[in-house]
C-alpha cells in the first residue's frame, strides 16, 4: 500500500514532497558538519547523495513505509530542511519522526511548527496510535523540540551509535494518540 505524500501548511511553513530541484539545497544541508554533528552518518561529500535521498523519499512513499517532506518558508519559498515519518507500520499504527534543518533557522520554532503539522497528519489522516523519535543525548535542542511536541522520554539506548568516531547514547521518545494535543494555529492540508 502506498503512503500518500501530502502537502501541508502552517502559518509560516509549507511541507511538501521533494522535487528534483531540491537536490542542491539538500546537499548543502547534509554537507554541513555543524548541522550533522549529532548524526550517526558523516556529512555528505558527493552531491549525488542528494539525488539518491530524493529518489529514496519517493520509494518510501510508493512502498508505504514513510513520507519525507521538504520544508519551505511560505513568505519567500526558502528551503529550510525536511521532516519525515518513517518506519510506518499500519498493523501497529506506528511510525518514527525525523527531521533536519539548516542551522541558520535553528531556534525560531520551525522544527516544532513543522513537527506539529506532520503529527496532526499522522494522527488524523493515518490514524496512528504511536509516533517514536530518537535523539543523541547531547542534542538538547532536539530534545526540547520533541518535548514541546508532547513526546515523553521513555529511555536511553546506551552506546547505540558512533557519531564522528565517538560512541554516543540516544534518548528514545514516544507520543501516543491519547496524549496528542494539537495546536490551534495550524491549518489543514490542502
Query: The domain that contains 155 carries what CATH number?
Result: 3.40.630.30
The predicted pLDDT at position 184 comes to 59
| Alpha carbon distance, N-terminus to C-terminus of the chain | 22
Residue 74 in this model has a pLDDT that exceeds 90 = yes
Average pLDDT, the chain: 92
Please state the rounded mean pLDDT for residues 156-178. 92
**Which helix H or strand E contains 111, and what residues bound it?**
helix 110-124
Evaluate whether residue 157 is within a structural domain. yes
- Which strand ranges, in their side-by-side order, compose the sheet holding 67-73? 8-9, 13-17, 67-73, 79-89, 94-101, 130-136, 166-176, 152-163
Mean pLDDT of 9-38: 96
Q: What is the pTM of this model?
A: 0.91
Q: How confident is the model at residue 182 (pLDDT cuts 50, 70, 90)?
A: confident
Domain contains 187:
no
In a domain, 190, yes or no: no
Looking at residues 133-155, what average pLDDT do you find?
A: 96
**What is the percentage of the chain residues whose pLDDT exceeds 70?**
95
Q: Which of 62-71, 96-105, 163-172, 181-190 has the lowest mean pLDDT?
A: 181-190
Q: What is the 3-state secondary structure (H, E, C) of the chain?
A: CCCCCCCEECCCEEEEECCHHHHHHHHHHHHCCCCCCCCCCCCCCCCHHHHHHHHHHHHHHHHCCCEEEEEEECCCCCEEEEEEEEEEECCCCEEEEEEEECHHHCCCCHHHHHHHHHHHHHHHCCCCCEEEEEEECCCHHHHHHHHHCCCEEEEEEEEEEEECCEEEEEEEEEEEHHHCCCCCCCCCCC
d(CA 27, CA 82): 12
Residue 189 lies in a domain: no
In this structure, is residue 125 part of a structural domain?
Answer: yes
Residue 185 has pLDDT above 90, yes or no: no
Within a domain: 168: yes
Q: How confident is the model at residue 190 (pLDDT cuts 50, 70, 90)?
A: very low
Please report whether residue 33 resides in a domain.
yes
* 184 falls within a domain: no
Which domain does 35 fall in, by range? 8-179
Q: How confident is the model at residue 1 (pLDDT cuts 50, 70, 90)?
A: low
pLDDT band for position 189 (cuts 50, 70, 90):
very low
Number of H helices, E strands in the chain: 4, 8
Q: How many domains does the chain have?
A: 1
User: In the block, which residue shows the cell 529514496?
Assistant: 56
Q: Quick one: pLDDT at residue 41? A: 86
Residue 186 pLDDT greater than 70, yes or no: no
Amino acid at each position: 500500500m502506498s503512503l500518500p505524500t501530502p502537502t501541508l501548511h502552517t502559518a509560516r511553513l509549507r511541507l511538501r514532497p521533494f522535487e528534483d530541484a531540491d537536490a542542491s539545497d539538500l546537499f548543502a544541508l547534509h554537507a554541513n558538519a555543524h548541522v550533522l554533528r549529532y548524526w550517526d552518518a558523516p556529512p555528505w561529500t558527493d552531491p549525488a547523495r542528494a539525488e539518491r535521498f530524493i529518489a529514496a523519499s519517493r520509494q518510501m512513499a510508493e512502498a508505504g513505509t514513510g513520507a519525507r517532506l521538504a520544508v519551505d518558508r511560505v513568505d519567500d519559498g526558502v528551503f529550510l530542511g525536511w521532516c519525515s515519518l518513517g518506519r510506518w507500520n499500519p498493523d501497529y499504527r506506528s511510525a518514527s519522526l525525523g527531521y533536519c534543518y539548516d542551522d541558520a533557522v535553528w531556534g525560531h520554532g520551525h522544527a516544532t511548527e513543522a513537527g506539529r503539522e506532520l503529527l496532526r497528519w499522522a494522527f488524523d489522516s493515518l490514524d496512528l496510535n504511536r509516533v517514536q523519535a530518537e535523539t543523541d543525548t547531547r542534542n538538547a535542542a532536539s530534545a526540547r523540540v520533541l518535548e514541546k511536541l508532547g513526546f515523553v522520554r521513555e529511555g536511553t539506548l546506551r552506546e547505540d551509535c558512533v557519531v564522528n568516531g565517538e560512541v554516543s547514547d540516544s534518548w528514545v521518545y514516544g507520543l501516543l494518540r491519547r496524549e496528542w494535543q494539537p495546536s490551534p494555529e495550524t491549518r489543514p492540508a490542502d
